[in-house]
Structure 1
Amino acid sequence: MAAEDVVFEMGVLVPSQTELPLRTVLLAVAAFPNKVGNLLMKALGAAAPLPELKHLKRVRKAPDDGSLLEAILCALGDEGVSEAALTAVTTEPDVARMDPLELDHLPASLQTLYTQHGGQRLRLVHGAALAPQTRQQWETWTKLWPITWRIPDNGTPVLVETPVDEYTQQYFERHMRTALQLAYLSCVDNAALIVDPDSAAPVAKAADRSAVHPLQHAVMAAVQAASERDLALWPPGLTSVDPYSGSGVDAMNVTPDANGSSEEIGTQGQSHGESNSAPDELRRELNGGDSRIDAGTGSTGDEDDTVEGLACKRQRLDTGPQEPQASARSRPYMCTGYDCFVVREPCIMCAMALVHSRVQRVIYCEPDATFGALGGCRRLHACKSLNHSYQVYRLGLKRET
């Protein structure tokens, strides 16, 4: 089927996380007189810290007696607890389960603590084993045992597929058709297109060439083409050598001359590994006014630095507060702010390359349950340890029934 005849489903924002179901843990809870509250908290912190349950409040007022405090002594396993007490949480999770517990079920140190602080009763209580993801979950789960509500580190996670608006749908469809057409004409099953959303103009494109080179996945090749284009356009006078020349990547509208044709980047006859020296003014600008550029281990400030290091890794400068878009466009870093359209869901390698390239959005057509890293077998865009994140959208094809 030709790309122009393809019919798409409504594009959706791919959730960064799946919604966690309520899972409970068995808590040994003891009641103590109110007056021992401060001493009790210190003793519990020393005798039985609960690092895995820090979302739970350690102490609460006893719901049936205002003169008592109830405190979590420890979390219990299933061993030695009656079958009745291990019955699953009721179908109404807002109803707290509380069952009697014998003192000898506790470690010796907690038995001593219970006696020394005037413990009056022991009960087994179900509490949430994990911190809630959303405010709605917190409102339900905290009824089992009080939970301290904290906004998740990554903000509130995206848990449901959210449809895009009509304007975004048209924008997505237009560029996905281009990616599908590129894959079709290249006789491969995957292709990538990188687009500047400000102008809606393609920046780079590439078809999958992993059969020729294991690193030339469509996304990897398109990122390389886009970065070479940006290096050629900024700053004026800076040229670079394409280490993947002849690899099939296509950097679009690189350096148009007066007649509108594109000039070839690099120096004819120059072998890979050689590079031109940057002008002194350019070196000073890129290094914040210092004419020396750190070329890496083994180089000194007196050596004549080359541009090759700049072609491999873009310099990022702190120039004070700026508008995000202005900063991204004035001193670009790889694919900052761009959208990446790819026919097949990226694998982990390609998804990480898009993280390092600072793309804004990734839109894919065909999900990959085996190797897909953005909703298939992994959700890389939910990883909190990464220093950049992007939004992920799925623009599926309508299947004939």
Structure 2
Amino acid sequence: MKKSMNGMWKIVHIPDKPPIPPNQQPTVNVLASIIDPKHANTLIRRLNQIAPLKNACHVKRIQKKHLEGGKTQLSVILCLASEDNSLLNSLPQDVQELSNSYQLSPFVTKVCKYAATSKEEWEEQCKLWPTSYHPPTYNIDGITGFSEEDSLSVLSFMKVAIELAKSGDGLIVNAAVIVDPSVQQIITNGCDQIFSWHAPMNKTCIRNDCIEQSTNLDSHQSNGVVSPVTEVLPNASPSEPESLSCAVSCLNPWKWSEQRSDMANSYYWHPLRHAAVVAIESSADRDRRLFPGLGDAEEKSFETSQSSHIVSMVKRQKTNVANVEKKEVDPPNMPSNSVPERPYLCTGCDIYLVWEPCIMCAMALVHQRIRRIFYAFPNPNTGALGSLHRLQGEKSLNHHYAVFRICVPDEVLDIAGNRKSC
């Protein structure tokens, strides 16, 4: 937990699966029996052949208990129990024969159904029956905690995103900042651009309960796309979707379908231009400028003899960004006969979002090979990374990123100050 000028900030890892209290882990019934310790090795080998625990590989076959007087008692899992927990129906024929040969007395007991994801879960599991615990082997920075230096860096980039989400006109939208963590520099950024007008207008104010156009219109220009000013009701919290659903695209992705037909000639909605998508587009445009694989003479001069090799690269290379504000960089220092390697999409990059992305944006970030996602406010309407879904835990995807929520003070968006001009 880190302290800032605005109060207490905290970085929280959002795991692939919803957390389960260690003492409430789901269990499954198995059939076990107390055995003579001298028969343990023989029984384990035979049971692994005739009744392997395929769906419970994390469960150890043997349980060891220390009794009074220094004696040791061993129990072995024979097989999984049937749904009705009937001993007669549960024991396969081979297991029944083995049980009879060693004069075993089967009984029903419980083991934890899933492998432990933390040491706390594992310790609780072993109270029922011994299991194995394997800490995560992947090493995405932050999953096991952040250093003081890394925490300050993460919080500073989130502050940039939050400032982008605000405007002097009172508009609050979602914002995205893409960062190359290898050089700790911003690559590009983007804000929601779901509104656009055919002609300049004076003033508009969209209320939180519906899209309510007034005669006086005011607009906010952001990256060439005009966006309406949103009025946030008094005492509204930035984490409440009802107060911002008209302006923050991911909180209400289908709002565009409610546009009024009588306004069709004055403005239109662009439903796909969410902040993450805009930032991705900007990053791609930057790569085209910095790495002109087709040899455009008007772009920066790079050797293009190996352009086909550059385009086919599947691992992002470190890019030394020299001027973040202008989002323009000079080519890295390298021998004159070498060719800079074009990054593959956003591989290895981090993205900072003010609001948790929707499914569309979260999938776009999967395709971009983003390494880590940080967001400040949850999205209870369509959140894809913790609130409703956990896309980061979908095993069928060919890429997975780590997700973190940065808990920030409610007043960080200064909503009261941003609504005065509306």
TM-score, length-scaled by structure 1:
0.62
Asked if 1 retains the 8 angstrom alpha-carbon contact of 2:162 and 2:175, the reply is no
Decide which of 348, 362, 365 is 1:351's aligned counterpart: 362
Which shows bigger deviation, 376-385 or 342-351? Answer: 376-385
Which digits, 9 at most, give the CA deviation of each residue in 1:182-217, with x for residues without a partner? 6x7695743333345536446232323274334322
For the 8 Å contact 1:370–1:377, the answer to whether it is kept is yes
Asked whether the 8 Å contact 2:165–2:172 carries over to 1, the reply is no
- Whether the 8 Å contact between 1:346 and 1:374 is mirrored in structure 2 is yes
1:286 aligns with 2:307: yes
Q: CA offset at residue 378 of structure 1?
A: 2.0
Letter in 1 for 2:97: T
Equivalence map 1:311-326=2 (5 Å): 314-316=311-313, 325=318
State the match for 2:122 in structure 1. 138
- CA spacing shift, 1:80–1:170, aligned 2, 3 Å: closer
1:72 Cα deviation from its structure 2 partner: 0.7
Q: 3-state DSSP class of the match of 2:176?
A: strand
Q: Which of the numbers 24, 27, 31 marks the counterpart of 1:24?
A: 27
Are the structure 2 counterparts of residues 59 and 185 from structure 1 closer, same or farther at C-alpha, using a change threshold of 3 Å? same
Aligned CA distance change for structure 1 residues 333 and 80 (closer, same or farther; 3 Å): closer
Secondary structure of the residue aligned to 1:194 is strand
- Equivalent position to 2:278, from 216, 221, 235: 221
Aligned to 1:363: 374
Preserved contact between residue 345 and residue 367 of structure 1 (Cα < 8 Å) = yes
Once the two structures are superposed, residues 344-371 of structure 1 have per-residue CA deviations (whole angstroms, 9 ceiling, x without a partner) of 2111221122233233443323311231
- 1:97-108 matches, cutoff 5 A: 104=88, 106-107=90-91
Identify the range of structure 1 (366-375 vs 22-31) with the bigger mean alpha-carbon deviation: 22-31
Whether 1:180 and 2:132 are equivalent positions in the alignment is no
Of 110, 115, 120, which aligns to 1:126? 110
Question: What stretches of structure 1 of length at least 5 have no aligned partner?
Answer: 1-5, 82-102, 241-253, 258-278, 289-309
1:153 to partner: Cα distance: 5.5
| Residue 233 to residue 397, structure 1, CA distance change in 2 (3 Å) | same
Q: Is the alpha carbon distance of 1:205 and 1:186 closer, same or farther for their aligned partners in structure 2, counting shifts above 3 Å?
A: farther
Cα distance per residue 1:265-316 (max 9 Å; x no partner):
xxxxxxxxxxxxxx9x62x41345xxxxxxxxxxxxxxxxxxxxx8xxx431
Aligned-residue offset at 1:55: 0.7
Distance change in 2, residues 1:207/1:163 (3 Å): farther
Q: Which amino acid aligns with 2:405?
A: Y
SS of equivalent residue, structure 1 residue 370: coil
The answer to whether the aligner puts 1:377 opposite 2:370 as a matched pair is no
Q: Distance in 1 between matches of 2:320 and 2:53?
A: 45
CA distance change for structure 1 residues 58 and 190 in 2, over 3 Å: closer, same or farther?
Answer: same
Residue 172 of structure 1, CA deviation: 3.3
Change (3 A) 1:55 1:286: same
Q: Does the residue aligned with 1:364 lie in a helix, a strand or coil?
A: strand
Q: Which moved more, 1:350-359 or 1:197-206?
A: 197-206
- Residues 19 and 170 (structure 1 numbering): CA distance in 2 closer, same or farther, change over 3 Å? closer
Does the C-alpha gap of structure 1 residues 186 and 164 become closer, same or farther in structure 2, counting only changes over 3 Å? farther
TM-fit CA distance, 1:69 = 4.7
Shift in Å at residue 114 of structure 1? Answer: 0.9
Residue in structure 2 matched with residue 273 of structure 1 by the alignment: none
Measure the CA separation in 1 of the matches of 2:143 and 2:318.
28
Identity %: 26
Cα root mean square deviation, aligned:
4.3
Match of 1:15 in 2: 14
How far the C-alpha of 1:115 sits from its partner, in A, is 0.6
**Residues 32 and 79 (structure 1 numbering): CA distance in 2 closer, same or farther, change over 3 Å?**
same
Task: State how far apart, in whole Å, the 2-side matches of 1:157 and 1:338 are.
Answer: 12
Larger fraction in strand: 2
Opposite residue 72 of structure 1, the aligned amino acid is I
Q: How does 1:1-400 map to 2 (within 5 A)?
A: 10-16=9-15, 17-20=17-20, 21=22, 22-61=25-64, 63=66, 69-77=74-82, 79=84, 104=88, 106-107=90-91, 109=93, 110-116=95-101, 118-152=102-136, 154=138, 167-168=152-153, 171-181=156-166, 189-196=173-180, 198=183, 200-201=185-186, 203-209=188-194, 211=256, 212-235=269-292, 238-239=295-296, 282=304, 284-288=305-309, 314-316=311-313, 325=318, 330-331=340-341, 332-383=343-394, 385-399=397-411
1:219, CA displacement in angstroms? 0.9
* 8 Å CA contact 1:14, 1:162 repeated in 2: no
- Aligned 8 A contact 2:177 2:186 in 1: no
2: CA distance, partners of 1:340 / 1:285: 30
8 Å CA contact retained: 2:122, 2:131: yes
Pair 237,157 (structure 1): closer, same or farther in 2 beyond 3 Å: closer
Shift of the 362–34 alpha-carbon distance from structure 1 to 2, 3 Å rule, reads closer
Code of the aligned partner of 2:365: L
Q: Secondary structure, in 3 states, of the residue corresponding to 1:139?
A: helix
Deviates more, 1:220-229 or 1:29-38: 29-38
Decide whether aligned partners of structure 1 residues 160 and 69 sit closer, same or farther in structure 2, where only a CA change above 3 A counts: closer
Count of aligned pairs between the two proteins: 309
Query: Would the alpha carbon gap of residues 326 and 228 (structure 1) be closer, same or farther in structure 2, given more than 3 Å must change?
Result: closer
Give yes or no for contact 2:32–2:109 (8 Å, CA) kept in 1. Answer: yes
